[in-house]
Structure 1
Amino acid sequence: MIPIALPLLDATEADAARDAVLSGWVSQGPQVAAFEREFANLVGARHACAVSNCTTALHLALLSLDLAPGDEVITASHSFIASANSIRYCGAVPVFADIDPETYNLDPVSVEAAITDRTRAILVIHQMGMPCDVASLSTLADRHNIVLIEDAACAAGSQIKVNGQWEIIGKPHGAIACFSFHPRKVITTGEGGMLTTSDPDVDRRFRLSRQHAMSVPDTVRHGAQQVIFEDYLFVGYNYRMTDVQAAVGRKQLQRLPELVARRRSIAARYDELLGNIDGLRLPTEPNWAMSNWQSYCVRLPDRLDQKAVMQSLLDQGIATRRGIMCSHREAPYRDQKHQDLRQSELAQDHAILLPIYAQMQDGDVEIVADALKKELCG
């Protein structure tokens, strides 16, 4: 069986987790703090705050805007439903804009058309690890005096060219960037997330919010030579990452360059093997973007049945996934008004994600490509 994805974990991560367990400190502690420092240093962020997953990261990012009922946040329907849900968690309204069919990322023209006097923010998504057009979208946000937040769940290790220089996603290029460490991502802690920001006050709010708004962290209380009583400053949450997860994350972070390099090599090989098939649309990497290739997404000719192709590949031992979901087609958002989302719907209905992971052998890539060719060419 060739799986759709496979995290690269071995004795290195197992030993790190074991050391954390045996240290006696398994909840949020020194490993989390070290992971935050190392992640911030890698992406060039002033602050990084680890949390339990990317959905909680998105929630905290949006809470920092003090959204009021009726406030609007523009985002893509063509994304995992957590993007839209995190807006709803804050009592705000997600407003869906359409995507660019070449990159599967938000189309700045569609975003601008969705802006109203109630718009407070744009939640952009680096879909499948492909950097979105941050330059255009941040200019748009600045012009309308609204905040740009990056859903970088899939984008650890991706890069974008800014003023002629390559920068890793996560600096951030908006006000806040949010990452996921789910097993489907390039690096994993099992579950887990990270927020990065340049604003120390926003970072402080994240750190309070993730731990019930406790005025004195338990790490400080346990190390104090005097008795300390904490206060609870506002309604917070239990969004903490554990030290066991962070210990694994630190080792994964060391692997990130080699993981991205291998994925880029596999994507290039897919390009070679599939590039001359009539009607098959391969993913496009703009000249200002370097994807980590968290996913490799191809668009099938409209004449083919997406599910039938996927089933045929599965029968041959090849796992795939359908195109990224559209939130506006799901029950919580079906009745919500939105503009034309034709490109988002076409991407969901006609695209499939092919297997890609660092341990994938060249022969496996050829097996997948050959099987797909047979489906398309007979």
Structure 2
Amino acid sequence: MIPVMRPWLGEEEARAASEAVLSGWVAQGPRVAEFEAAFAGAVGVPHAIAVSSCTTGLHLCLIGAGVGPGDEVVVPSLSFIATTNAVMYAGAVPVFADVDAATLNLTPETVEAAVTPRTKAVILVDQCGIPADLDAVRAVCEPRGITVIEDAACAAGVTYKGRPAAMAAELAAFSFHPRKVLTTGEGGMVTAHDAGVAARLKRLREHAMSVSAADRHASSTVTLEGYDEVGYNYRMTDIQAAIGLVQLRKLPEMVARRRELAERYQKALSGIPGLVTATDPSYGTTNYQSFWVTLPEDHPISRDDLLVRLAERGVSARRALMAAHLQPAYAHIGASLPVTERLTRDSVTLPLYHEMTEEEQDRVVEVLYDK
């Protein structure tokens, strides 16, 4: 079976994890701090806060933006459900907006249509590693005092206007889940520009302790921590961070290989009339975290039948994206999102991973050409 995704992990990551275990410090500690500094440098931001997942990172971003009960947050329905769930964690109200069919991302126009006087923030997703147009959406939001939070779950190694994705975002959250290009197994990272906000989020991810466990351990005197507000256990372990440091060094090579494979897919599939494939937007480059295609409306078989055919031929594929507003958990939120509904019905994620061979890719392409 050709997998839809396989992380590029090897001996170097195994040694790094082993060294962390043998050091005796396996919880959040010096390797987490090192990973935070290295990631901040790679993205070009002053502050990075390692967390247990992108979902918890988004929750912290919303807190950092001052989002609370009664506030509205505009989100794309066309995203993994965690984007919407994070809004609920903050006690706020998600408001669904439609997306662009070529990038799968929110646009200034779809955001504008969803904004109300109660809107406190917008979560802008770099869907499947395709950068969203941050500056254009901020131009709609900032005059209204609305914070734009970047859900950069898929965006490690992505560029926007020649810079790392999320570099300019006031707050952003990355994912290191195994389906992402850079993985630590589970885990995530928040990036921030404001030193005060970053310091608060670092406290909140560790139960809001006034002095971290690592700092207390390093102190030569007895240090008693305090708790000034309700916090969370959103910490990353040093074992995960050790793996992340290795993965971060490999990131440029991983992105380059994925872009090679994506270009090969694009050329191979160009003979299917009406098929839309993932590609770079005019203002940035994607890491092809996922390679998705949207079937033409007159395609001879449905998306679900194509998934069955692929599986029967030994190819693991997935629907490209879910639509949160069509799930039972959010069915009570009314939304008319024609582009989102078309994409979630007719799009497929094809296999793409660092060690994929041309022979494997040819097998995938062959199935799509079958009548």
TM-score, structure 1 normalization: 0.96
- How far off is 1:279 after superposition? 2.2
8 Å CA contact retained: 1:324, 1:348: yes
In the TM superposition, 1:205-284 aligns within 5 A as 205-284=200-279
The separation in 2 between residues aligned to 1:332 and 1:315, in whole angstroms, is 32
| Alpha-carbon distance between aligned partners in 2 of 1:222 and 1:284, rounded to the nearest angstrom | 49
Q: Distance in 1 between matches of 2:218 and 2:111?
A: 49
Q: Shift of residue 366 of structure 1?
A: 1.4
Q: Deviations over 1:156-210 (max 9, x none)?
A: 000011xxxx101131x22101000000000100000000011001100110000
Give how far 1:91 is off. Answer: 0.8
Deviation for aligned residue 1:132: 0.7
Structure 2: distance between partners of 1:65 and 1:143: 16
SS at match of 1:270: helix
Q: Does 1:325 align with 2:346?
A: no
- How far off is 1:10 after superposition? 0.6
Any idea what the Cα deviations from partners look like across 1:295-333, whole Å, max 9, x if unmatched?
A: 011011224311111111111100100120000011121
**Counterpart residue number, 1:99:** 99
Is 1:337 aligned to 2:334, yes or no?
Answer: yes
Distance 1:73 1:250 in 2: 33
Alpha-carbon contact 1:320-1:355 (below 8 Å) kept? yes
Name the SS of the counterpart of 2:190 in structure 1: strand
Aligned residue in 1 for 2:15:
15
State whether residues 325 and 334 of structure 2, in contact with CA within 8 Å, keep that contact through their aligned partners in structure 1.
no
Deviates more, 1:352-361 or 1:138-147: 138-147
- Residues 138 and 174 in structure 1, CA contact (< 8 A), matched pair in contact too: no
- Report the CA distance between 1:284 and its aligned residue: 3.4
| Structure 2 residue 80 is the aligned partner of structure 1 residue 80 | yes
1:311 and 2:308 aligned: yes
1:221 to partner: Cα distance: 1.2
Contact 1:97 1:341 in 2 (8 A): yes
1:204 corresponds to: 199
Matched with 1:365 is 361
Q: Who is 1:352 aligned against?
A: 348
Could you give the per-residue CA deviations for residues 128-150 of structure 1, whole angstroms, max 9, x where no partner exists? 00001112101111122210100
**1:175 matched to which residue of 2?**
170
Unaligned runs of 5+ in 2: none
Equivalents in 2 of 1:301, 1:344: separation in Å?
A: 15
Provide the residue aligned with 1:41 in structure 2: 41
CA distance in 1 between partners of 2:332 and 2:220 (Å): 57
Which residue pairs with 2:53 in the alignment?
53
CA distance in 2, matches of 1:154, 1:125: 9
Q: How many residues align?
A: 369
* Secondary structure in 2 matching 1:244: helix
Stretch deviating more after TM superposition (63-72 or 292-301)? 63-72
Amino acid in structure 2 at the alignment position of 1:232: Y
Q: Give the one of 286, 290, 295 matched to 1:291.
A: 286
SS at match of 1:216: coil
1:286 to partner: Cα distance: 1.5
Q: Indicate if the aligned counterparts of 2:279 and 2:286 stay in contact, CA closer than 8 A.
A: no
Give me the whole-angstrom Cα distance separating, in 1, the residues matched to 2:297 and 2:361.
Answer: 24
Alpha-carbon contact 2:325-2:331 (below 8 Å) kept:
yes
Which residue identity lines up with residue 66 of structure 2 in the other structure?
A: D
**Partner of residue 146, structure 1:** 146
What corresponds to 1:70 in structure 2?
70
Letter in 1 for 2:185: G
Contact 1:181 1:191 survives alignment (8 Å): yes
Q: Determine the C-alpha separation between the residues in 2 that align with 1:296 and 1:146.
A: 32
Aligned-residue offset at 1:276: 2.1
* Separation in structure 1 between the aligned mates of residue 70 and residue 334 of structure 2, nearest angstrom: 14
Quick one: distance in 1 between partners of 2:116 and 2:69? 15
Cα deviation for residue 281 of structure 1 reads: 1.4
**Alignment-mate amino acid for residue 285 of structure 1:** D
**Whole-angstrom CA distance in 2 between matches of 1:317 and 1:229:** 58
1:107 CA drift (Å)? 2.5
Match for residue 194 of structure 1 among 175, 186, 189: 189
RMSD (CA atoms): 0.9
Counterpart AA for 1:234: E
8 Å Cα contact 1:97-1:107 kept in structure 2: no
